[in-house]
Amino acid sequence: MIDLLPTIEHLDLFKEGNLFHAFKVFGAHLECEGEEMGVRFTAWAPNAKEVRVVGDFNDWNGKEHTMHEIESTGVWSLFIPQLFDGTLYKYEIHTNEDKVFLKSDPYAFYSERRPQTASIVKSLNVYKWQDEQWQDKKRKTNVLSNPINIYEVHLGTWKKVNNESLSYFELANKLIEYVVSMGYTHIELLPIMEHPFDRSWGYQVTGYYSITSRYGTPEQFMYFVDRCHQNGIGVILDWVPGHFCKDDHGLREFDGTPLYEYKDGMKAEKPSWGTLSFDYSKPEVVSFLISNALFWMDVYHIDGLRVDAVESMINLNFDKPPGQHIKNKQGGTENIEAISFIKKLNETVFHHYPNALMMAEDSSNWPCVTSPTYMGGLGFNFKWNMGWMNDMLRYMESDPIYRPYKHQLITFSLLYTYSENYILPFSHDEVVHGKKSMLNKMPGEYWQKFANLRLLYSYQMAHPGKKLTFMGGELAQFEEWKDLEQIDWMLLDFDMHHMFQQFVRSLNLFYKQECALWESDYHHSGFMWMDADNNKDSIISFIRKGRCEEEIILVVCNFTPLSRQSYDIGVHIPGIYEEVFNSDDVRFGGTGRKNGKVKAGLKSCHFQDFSIQLTIPPLATIMLKRIPAISKEIN
């Protein structure tokens, strides 16, 4: 016999902000009380006069199903016998002003498909996981010194059949097979928590614990994640703890008063997004959010969270007009409660999941985002490098004739790249709202556009930091992401697009096999400039190194459409260097200028004692690997 009636200990932890598995207490849970099977409903509504449960089982009339408040705690609970999986329900909130309205369950595990908004009773204990090998490997893996190359996906528009999005089950076959074949290491999903409006892309949530019913059931999504893990692919979710939408059935004024949001409208409102900020000063809200982060890892085996819009959380005046600016109690503009919440979130997640991926999407200059909290940091282990992304796109969008005057845009990032554990992102945000597709950002005629994009992606792969690209980028789409249509798969019927996809696949597989490109991403020892200052030719060269001194890759990038012959590049170690990757390969649509094996001679260049002579193709990246065995004989 099970009794899920919340205990005083549970409620004390909840009110302290320390009930980190609140989803096991709140919401709707199938159980047996006495001799009867049924569902226990538990909700937090401290300012309600009365709370009832309504649903398809009582014709949406809650008169006979009034919840009981537990010892004046503001927590209401009720066991209703003879209810089962699939029962539709809502909470009927009666306010002290005698207003009555219906709310979806904030802790619901499943919900009706939009535009319907009822919560659905759902047991999440049925699926039998088969990812033990993945979980064991993950426990032994140092995420910082392993390859991470993320394919960012919006599930609704990756691929469609008869204009219908694929289900989780269908995606588990088609998407995973594609991601594996393309050589990515992780999938990152735009938010799949329940949300009412398709075109919010999931960033305006109503059901934080409810997997969206657009694509199927919780069990089908579990199968999707399981299949990812069985195929060696990690799964990251976009997670939105910064704000929520104002839809009537959601969290806004849940018990008739501002509850999950700040009471002070100046702090609560996110003007441009039309959303409300969570009130991080309330311990119960902290319990709700931290429990939600753990929920996705506990129940769905998610490997990590990309925390959306961190700057909007930590900056009180984010995106607010000057007339609405406010200050905290200490006279600053940072949100002290949000910062405290973020630190507690990361401490808790890493306590339970030491190898989780906690990624901050943060466009601010806040220091130590990826430093441990005991060192004064926010406690994430990764941060998106928005500065690098913006600089690189500004540079690449300019005509090569003007690039010598903007050379610092491609080198500046190395002045700060070791200040955080960065991910280099080209995300969905860069290919919407008139920003143009990645291919159409590139200058020049048809061939040059493709060459420029190959150059950009290969420089991204060679630069220190983990990698992320948005779906469709690997097809070299001409148009922006169309958020109601599938990506442009028909482009693969055209040679240049098909060759570009093969380029991305080859680049991804090359990245995975070369530890020099990822093993020391976050150590100064992993990078060495050969020539950072040749703005005249718009050519840069550098060394990437693994932990083993023998693992050396020389990277040369030519950002002009001019080919260079017998071009001297300095190297710090003599030996034979073999060209192992060339973005100008004819297989990728390039001109086919190659180098093969070259020997480093005793000729100083770029402040090095040795140098090699190369043919450098136009608008291309070439990578050469030192051959250790031959090098030893020469030494």
Distance CA(175)–CA(552), nearest Å, equals: 34
Q: What is the dihedral sign for C-alpha 174, 176, 179, 181? A: negative
Catalytic member of 105, 152, 261, 308: 308
Tell me the one-letter amino acid at 34: G
Distance CA(422)–CA(526), nearest Å, equals: 14
Contact between 180 and 508 under an 8 Å Cβ cutoff? The reply is no
SS (H, E, C) 287-311: HHHHHHHHHHHHHHCCCEEEECCHH
Q: Is 308 a catalytic residue?
A: yes
Contact between 457 and 469 under an 8 Å Cβ cutoff? The reply is yes
Distance CA(258)–CA(264), nearest Å, equals: 9
Would residue 22 be called left, alpha or beta, if left means φ above 0 and alpha means ψ between -120 and 50 degrees?
Answer: alpha
Distance CA(175)–CA(231), nearest Å, equals: 12
Distance CA(491)–CA(32), nearest Å, equals: 56
Contact between 486 and 160 under an 8 Å Cβ cutoff? The reply is yes
56, 112, 120, 481 from 217: Cα distances, Å: 20, 11, 11, 27
Q: How far is CA 609 from the centre of its chain?
A: 43
321, 564, 574, 585 from 614: Cα distances, Å: 54, 8, 15, 15
Contact between 439 and 450 under an 8 Å Cβ cutoff? The reply is yes
335, 410, 411, 557, 563 from 560: Cα distances, Å: 45, 13, 16, 9, 8
196, 268, 281, 316, 495 from 330: Cα distances, Å: 38, 19, 15, 13, 61
Q: Where are the alpha helices (DSSP H) in 484-584?
A: 495-513
Tell me the one-letter amino acid at 291: S
Catalytic member of 284, 361, 420, 514: 361
Which residue from 440, 471, 470 is spatially nearest to 453, judged by alpha carbons?
440
Question: By three-state DSSP, how is residue 510 classified?
Answer: helix
Length of the chain: 635
The residues that bridge with 422 in the sheet, in sequence order, are 383
Which residue from 612, 595, 619, 594 is spatially nearest to 543, judged by alpha carbons?
612
Active site residues: 308, 361
